């Protein structure tokens, strides 16, 4: 079921859901995984990582609570500019994946650490063309690399995790070069922070942030780095 349908159903049945005691954990639990054996070399200046792992609300929320991230923007990657809008992408026919562009300070967090958080708490990398209740290629697991070094690190890490069998099933994450990233509509930005009690967010995404705090305490920040704040300071 696509998220638009899920949201309309949730809006109509929130009271009923609460009456039966809303669940307190996400559909997929976080997995404790080793750090990457290979990481990107230290660099100066703000770097960019782009990842996709289901609904961008939760992925954005996780990285907005990650130290060293200076901005995390929900958007679309993998398709053309002409079809980079939510309604069209939701058809699953555009080639896009709901993605998050992560701008980060490599002196505070490495590319490898971003991938460790991505694979561990941000999504389940063993689900093919879906994530939790959301089904379609637009919800696929994908890493869009911005350099040859990023591709080498991502490919090596996937091989490392598959070799160690840290997941019950093989990782299906696709790694490929980023051609373009298109920011999503304004109402999708900072969605987790703005709507923490919305049932979809409360069930699927808030637990991801809680797992970040639990498993990556040294990388967790309580106050999220919001897109709206970034725009206000620029």
Report the catalytic residues: 55
Contact 27, 204 (CB under 8 A): yes
CA atoms within 13 A on the CB side of 69: 31
Give me the phi and psi of 134, to 5 degrees please: -95, 125
CA atoms within 13 A on the CB side of 90: 13
Give me the phi and psi of 150, to 5 degrees please: -60, -40
Give me the phi and psi of 142, to 5 degrees please: -155, 145
């Amino acid at each position: 079921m696509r998220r638009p349908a899920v949201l309309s159903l949730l809006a109509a049945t929130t009271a009923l859901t609460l009456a039966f005691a809303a669940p307190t954990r996400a559909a997929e639990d976080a997995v404790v995984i080793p750090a990457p054996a290979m990481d990107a070399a230290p660099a100066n200046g703000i770097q960019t990582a782009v990842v996709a792992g289901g609904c961008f609300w939760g992925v954005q929320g996780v990285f907005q609570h990650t130290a060293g991230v200076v901005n995390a923007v929900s958007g679309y990657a993998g398709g053309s500019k002409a079809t980079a809008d939510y309604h069209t992408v939701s058809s699953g026919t555009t080639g896009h994946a709901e993605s998050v562009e992560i701008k980060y300070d490599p002196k505070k967090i490495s590319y490898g650490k971003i991938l460790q958080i991505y694979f561990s708490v941000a999504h389940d990398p063993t689900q093919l063309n879906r994530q939790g209740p959301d089904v379609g290629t637009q919800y696929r697991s994908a890493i869009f690399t911005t350099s040859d070094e990023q591709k080498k690190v991502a490919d090596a890490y996937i091989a490392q995790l598959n070799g160690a069998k840290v997941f019950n099933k093989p990782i299906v994450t696709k790694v490929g070069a980023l051609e373009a990233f298109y920011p999503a509509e304004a109402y999708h930005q900072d969605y987790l922070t703005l709507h923490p009690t919305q049932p979809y967010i409360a069930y699927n995404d808030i637990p991801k942030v809680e797992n970040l705090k639990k498993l990556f305490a040294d990388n967790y920040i309580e106050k999220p780095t919001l897109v709206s704040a970034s725009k206000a300071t620029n």
